[in-house]
Amino acid sequence: MNKKELKKVADNFAMEREQEQLEYPVEDYSADKVILYHGTNTDNLDKILEDGLCPRGNNKGNWEHTIRSRNDMVYLTNSYAVYFAMCSIPEDSKANPVVLEVEVDTKSLYPDEDFMEQATRNSAMWQDYFMSIGHEDMTARTEYFRDNISEFQDDYTNSLKYLGNACYLGEIKPESIKRYSVLDVGKVWEHSDPTITLMNYKILGSKYRKLSKKTMWEKPLSINEVIFNKE
């Protein structure tokens, strides 16, 4: 590819991002109720539709290879539900990824511990504090925020604004599920390659918000969309 062709690709990419930023800006998450998304798979779908979205409790989570999530929270996103849905499928399962749209009360929302770690890692005050308690590596810092997340509830808006994720304390009732979309497992990897960092969300957040609001509900990515409580 020559320089002219590379410039054309770069220009097209920039124009696409600009259009997405206009159409899918960061929302105001300070209202009493907000719309967010959750990724799972068809093995779990019937139980979710019957009982709602429940924290994992003592069950094994999807992130055993890394820091364990809180067992009393349901993790939600405005951007990465497709990725999380794909990650939820066991290697030996024939399940399809599923994304759910939910309406939740913000009084039960908390920041994601990964956001808190990333947002504070360059703060001299936090660096001094973590050094004083022997929590100098990323894993220890993230575990600190996970275990003490109730102290930082007001930061849930920033967690959604700057990283795209938050967590919900307790169960999300079935009536709070507005719709779900079963995804084509053959297409899903085209839309599930995020690096979930503050910088990536700053640059590409509008792309992922478009995925949540539009793309994952339409063919060819969506195999089947079901809408509840349609007014």
State pLDDT tens for residues 187-211. Answer: 998 887 778 999 999 989 999 999 9
Per-residue pLDDT for 60 more than 50?
A: yes
- Per-residue confidence at 32, pLDDT binned at 50, 70, 90? very high
Phi, psi of 62 (to 5 degrees): -85, -5
> Does the model's pTM come out above 0.85?
yes
Do residues 100 and 179 touch, judged by C-beta distance below 8 A?
yes
Q: What whole-number distance in Å separates Cα of residue 136 and Cα of residue 141?
A: 7
The average pLDDT across 15-26 equals 80
The average pLDDT across 97-116 equals 97
Per-residue pLDDT for 109 more than 70?
A: yes
State how beta strands 109-111 and 97-105 pair. unpaired
- Per-residue confidence at 225, pLDDT binned at 50, 70, 90? very high
Domains, the chain: 33-112+149-223 (3.20.170.30)
Q: What whole-number distance in Å separates Cα of residue 65 and Cα of residue 125?
A: 30
- Per-residue confidence at 41, pLDDT binned at 50, 70, 90? very high
Alpha-carbon distances, residue 128 vs 67, 115, 124, 132, 208 (angstroms): 23, 19, 6, 6, 35
Per-residue pLDDT for 50 more than 80?
A: yes
Q: What is the mean pLDDT of the chain?
A: 90
- Per-residue confidence at 64, pLDDT binned at 50, 70, 90? low
The average pLDDT across 16-28 equals 82
- Per-residue confidence at 48, pLDDT binned at 50, 70, 90? very high
Residue ranges of E strands in 42-134: 73-77, 97-105, 109-111
Do residues 62 and 39 touch, judged by C-beta distance below 8 A?
no
Q: For residues 3-37, b (16+ Cβ closer than 10 Å) or e, as one string?
A: eeeeeeeeeeeeeeeeebeeebeeeebeeeebbbb
